[in-house]
Amino acid sequence: MLRPRPRPLGSLDRTAVDGGPAERQRDGRVSGGPEAWVRTLQRSAGNAAVTRAIGQARGQQAAVQTAVQTVVQRKWPGPNAADRHHTDDPTAHPEWAMYRTLMTDAGFSANVVENLWSLLVGGLREQETINSASADPSLTRTERRLRREGNDWYQQAIEMLRENSGFTTPRMALWSGGFDVCKYAQSKGYTPMEFTRAGKVFNELEFHRNWGLQGPLWNALSKFYAAQATGPVHIFLRSYSPDSVLIGQEVPQLRQLQRIHPEVELIWHPLYTDEQGRIREVSRDRELVDDAPYATRDTCVAVLYDYLMYRHDEGNGHAARSYQEMQTDLSKNVNPGPSK
């Protein structure tokens, strides 16, 4: 049985680059932001001031009473997912047969299929060791995350996918806000990672019952996917979280690429799910339309929050989570003032 030992790969540059290029003139919607007062405040005081001002305009509370569960971007492992390691015999893993069939149907060679699977299964075991070693309470959240990303088995698997064009696409899309946002992007003619050759396979697998062993794999895959951008990248946003993989890893990777390849352009789409469950895009005049691209993240988030604050119907359960997550973000940004 093939059990290749991974060779160490050079660590990916994990430096986050804040901000981005100035908003460029494109067409009416892209060059414009939300209402003039929002755009002016955005330029002078930043996005936190925008969200604070929007909240004050509607008399919102400075904090919310309860935390909101983050939207799950990936399929959560079910009760039948593997609960032990299969490094001695990777083909004993309960998903081996399905994985082999899907990868073969996707056009990967038998050698790639077998070696990649061995790396993935070995990576799960290695991640358990890494997670245990990174549990030091003195580490910051960022330090802990960086240590948990240092899995050479996963990096070697990603290198194999790169060599075999596993995640290549000419129309890249990133997303945040639930998996139906991913499907929406695909329906618009773009190819999120989950709809690439290998992505469609990986998205069907549970790998292991312990999400902590595969979470770093998905994070690494997302960053690798973003690093392949060669042109415009469309970003579909139904909810905004500064701690998400999209904002924390994928977008910084793209910002670095823009320094070398100016043709890499980020195009942002704010999304809202209406009462009928249809995902629509949000225009700067608070209308739901078929296409509403913007050139900067701050404009996109301001437009989204503006719509949620003024037009969201609290009886619309389809958009309740987006509204609650906005409230949570506002509570973090609003200065509560001096204590009494």
> Quick one: what percent of the chain has pLDDT higher than 70?
76
pLDDT for the residue 331: 85
- Quick one: pLDDT band at residue 74, thresholds 50, 70, 90? low
Q: What DSSP character marks residue 288?
A: E
Confidence band of 209 (pLDDT split at 50, 70, 90)? very high
Give per-residue pLDDT as tens, 238-259.
999 888 889 988 999 999 999 9
SS3 192: strand
Residue 73 — very low, low, confident or very high, per pLDDT cuts 50/70/90?
Answer: low
Q: Which residues contact 137 (CB under 8 A, 6 or more apart)?
A: none
User: Does residue 6 carry a pLDDT above 90?
Assistant: no
Q: Which of 192, 249, 260, 257 is nearest to 229 (CA)?
A: 257
Classify residue 245 by burial, with Cβ atoms within 10 Å: 0-12, 13-18, 19+. Answer: buried
How does pLDDT run across 277-288, given as a tens digit for each residue? 999 999 999 999
- DSSP structural state of residue 3: -
Q: Are 143 and 104 in contact (CB under 8 A)?
A: no
Three-class secondary structure of residue 46 per DSSP: coil
Cα three-residue angle 214-217-223, rounded to 5 degrees: 145
State residue 194's pLDDT score. 94
Q: Is the pLDDT of residue 10 over 50?
A: no
Query: What are the tens digits of pLDDT across the range 291-313?
Result: 999 999 999 999 999 999 999 99
* H/E element, 318: none
Q: Look at residue 36 and tell me whether its pLDDT is greater than 50.
A: no
Half-sphere exposure of 172 (CA within 13 A, CB side): 22
- Phi/psi-derived region of residue 177, left when phi > 0, alpha when psi is between -120 and 50, beta in every other case: left
How many Å separate Cα 79 from the centre of its chain? Answer: 25
Q: Whole-angstrom distance between the N-terminal and C-terminal Cα of the chain?
A: 68
Cβ neighbours of residue 327 closer than 8 Å, sequence gap 6 or more: 60, 64, 68
Q: Read off the pLDDT band of 75 (50, 70, 90).
A: low
The pLDDT tens digits for 144-184 are 878 888 999 999 999 999 999 999 888 999 999 999 999 99
- Mean per-residue pLDDT over the chain, rounded: 80
The DSSP call for residue 249 is I
Q: What tokens does 267 get?
A: 């195009």
> What is the Cα–Cα distance from 44 to 144, expressed in whole angstroms?
34
Please state whether the predicted TM-score (pTM) of the whole model is above 0.85.
no
For the CA atoms of 243, 249, 251, 256, the dihedral, rounded to the nearest 10 degrees, stands at 140
